[in-house]
């Protein structure tokens, strides 16, 4: 016997890494565009005031929380990337693997921002440019993180319900068998 993974495991890992790399590439490309096209400009309306492009550099987390603790977010992003990569290489349904890939891609691209963007190593600011009516300014990685998290939660609740139904079905079968 060899220690080579089954083709399905290899394929799943390849899909996860491909989706994560795609998120990373699109996010970094759009950030490059935002920095070159939006620097020094007023907000660009896309859908009225509801959706605009506006360049910001975020040293904190969502909603600029923890702006003085950028290094903490660097460490958390690194831990998240390692944990998500580990989870994504474990047996998963295809849908759950995609959710993990979206989360992994978002975590890695934010980690790279923290590591390599100004003002310096492990203190870098995340480039945000998609303004949602002044409520939140984010980027493509944030969209991937949100979509991955929602998908993961939905799949978790769905699998919990399916497990509960299966358990109830087994219980009913056991009761039927006990009556006979």
| Catalytic choice (27, 113, 128, 131) | 128
Interval 157-163 mean pLDDT:
74
pLDDT-based confidence at 74, cuts 50/70/90?
confident
pTM metric for this prediction: 0.82
Q: How many CB atoms lie within 10 A of CB 54?
A: 17
pLDDT in tens, 98-119: 999 999 999 999 999 999 999 9
Active-site annotation holds for 3: no
Which listed residue (27, 113, 131, 142) is catalytic? 142
């Amino acid at each position: 016997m060899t220690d080579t993974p089954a083709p399905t495991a290899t394929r799943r890992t390849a899909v996860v890494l491909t989706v994560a790399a795609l998120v990373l590439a699109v996010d970094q490309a759009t950030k490059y565009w935002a920095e070159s096209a939006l620097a020094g400009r007023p907000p660009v309306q896309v859908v009225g005031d509801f959706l605009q492009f506006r360049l910001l550099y975020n040293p904190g987390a969502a909603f600029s929380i923890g702006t003085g603790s950028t290094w903490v977010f660097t460490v958390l992003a690194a831990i998240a990337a390692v944990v998500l990569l580990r989870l994504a290489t474990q047996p998963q349904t295809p849908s759950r693997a995609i959710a993990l890939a979206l989360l992994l891609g978002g975590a890695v691209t934010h980690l790279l921002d923290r590591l390599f963007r100004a003002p310096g190593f492990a203190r870098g600011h995340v480039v945000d440019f998609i303004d949602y009516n002044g409520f939140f300014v984010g980027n493509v990685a944030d969209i991937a993180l949100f979509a991955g998290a929602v998908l993961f939660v939905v799949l978790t609740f769905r699998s919990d319900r399916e497990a509960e139904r299966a358990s109830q079905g087994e219980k009913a079968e056991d009761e039927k068998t006990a009556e006979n």
